[in-house]
């Protein structure tokens, strides 16, 4: 997981030509300031061309908001390996049906979960393997000790 995160960060850094990774020698005297400018930056037009469209950023913000709540994250964890009926989610989290239904709506709107109805029961599952990978990466990153 850590290797994948490092690869993703390297990809993002490559999209911004004037960014130079901050040295991590541990010696403040030899490390350049994080905001040092060496005059090699590209034009502002080139930088803004690397930005995603407003539609993509809106969809991404909506998706990330799905992860940005403890209850929603716990629901996603329950759905990590299986399809679960709403009443089982209510019991597992010891919350009201209406509170769980509200959080499930946010997760549906963020396209993080999908559902199916079987009679009076509604079953939820993660939308796809991408969601499972994002969840696993977020949990793995959150479990890492702070390094300062």
Q: What are 69-96's pLDDT values in tens digits?
A: 999 999 999 999 999 999 999 999 999 9
Domain 52-148, second-level architecture: Orthogonal Bundle (1.10)
How is residue 143 written in tokens? 């479990």
Starting at the earlier edge strand, list the strands of the sheet with 121-126. 84-85, 121-126, 113-118
8 A C-beta contact, residue 78 and residue 85: no
Given a cut of 50, is residue 43 above it in pLDDT?
yes
Taking Cα atoms as reference points, which of 2, 138, 118 lies closest to residue 76?
A: 138
Given a cut of 90, is residue 122 above it in pLDDT?
yes
CA distance 128 to 72: 16
Give the whole-number percent of the chain exceeding pLDDT 90.
61
What's the pLDDT at 142?
92
| Helix segments in 30-123, DSSP class H | 44-49, 54-67, 70-78, 86-93, 97-109
Q: Does pTM surpass 0.75?
A: no
Domain residue spans of the chain: 1-51, 52-148
């Amino acid at each position: 997981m850590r290797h994948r995160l490092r690869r993703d960060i390297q990809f993002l850094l490559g999209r911004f030509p004037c960014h130079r990774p901050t040295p991590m020698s541990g010696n403040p005297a030899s490390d350049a300031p994080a905001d040092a400018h060496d005059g090699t930056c590209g034009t502002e037009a080139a930088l803004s061309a690397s930005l995603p469209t407003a539609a993509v950023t809106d969809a991404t913000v909506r998706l990330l908001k799905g992860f940005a709540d403890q209850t929603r994250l716990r629901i996603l964890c329950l759905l990590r390996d299986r399809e679960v009926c709403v009443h089982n989610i209510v019991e597992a989290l010891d919350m009201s049906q209406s509170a769980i239904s509200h959080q499930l709506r946010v997760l549906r709107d963020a396209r993080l979960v999908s559902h199916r109805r079987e009679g009076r029961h509604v079953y939820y599952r993660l939308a796809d393997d991408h969601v499972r990978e994002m969840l696993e990466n977020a949990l793995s990153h959150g479990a890492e000790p702070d390094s300062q």
